[in-house]
Amino acid sequence: MVIEKQKVVSVTYQLNVNEKDGEVVETVNKEKPLTFLYGVGNMLEKFEENIKGLQQGDQFDFMIPSGEAYGQASDDAVVDLPLNVFEIEGEVDYDLLKVGNYIPMQDQQGNRLDGIVLEVGDEKVKMDFNHPLAGDDLFFQGEVLDVREATEDEINQGHANNAEGV
């Protein structure tokens, strides 16, 4: 069975940034593979394009330029937020607000955003909402472990059951 729309795909991979032998930022192994419903927008479009038509046991090795992955880092995504945004029941959790921590948040439309704390001041918190891999070329090397038909539930839900990936 080949990878195509509405198939559940399981892969292993190593992800390096900026060079084929650059910094390893993620390794997904056989014990906990990335499993996803192909063709529904849950993965990077170029990732899916590069594995389309492969089947169980096939190896892959490709690069996605930053502009087709997570884009370039933007100064507009670095913002100062009022400290009171981080209050819960009138108290700020300073254990959460440590430089380098990722904090899940929402924009005004309710979309989830993950931000990293850059600075904590007396009245403001500087957050970076750029994707951690913005500006990086992505180098994937891996193997297709399994390809199967999606169940009706998986198709209706828009994701593979027990899927771990993004």
In this predicted structure, what is the pLDDT of residue 34? 96
Residue for token pair 């492969």: 54
Q: Is 109 part of any domain?
A: yes
Residue for token pair 């009138």: 90
- Kindly state whether residues 43 and 117 are assigned to the same domain: no
Selected residue with higher pLDDT from 22 and 59: 59
Q: How far is CA 5 from CA 25, 94, 106, 115, 138, in A?
A: 28, 45, 30, 32, 23
In this predicted structure, what is the pLDDT of residue 165? 44
Judge if pTM exceeds 0.85.
no
Give 73-130 pLDDT, tens digit per residue. 999 999 999 998 888 888 888 888 999 999 998 888 888 888 999 999 999 999 999 9
- Kindly state whether residues 39 and 52 are assigned to the same domain: yes
Give 4-14 pLDDT, tens digit per residue. 999 999 999 99
| Domain encompassing residue 40 | 7-70+135-157
Alpha helices by DSSP H, 19-85: 45-51
- Four-residue CA torsion sign, 82, 88, 89, 94: negative
Number of domains in the chain: 2
Q: Is 64 part of any domain?
A: yes
Task: Check whether 166 has a pLDDT greater than 80.
Answer: no
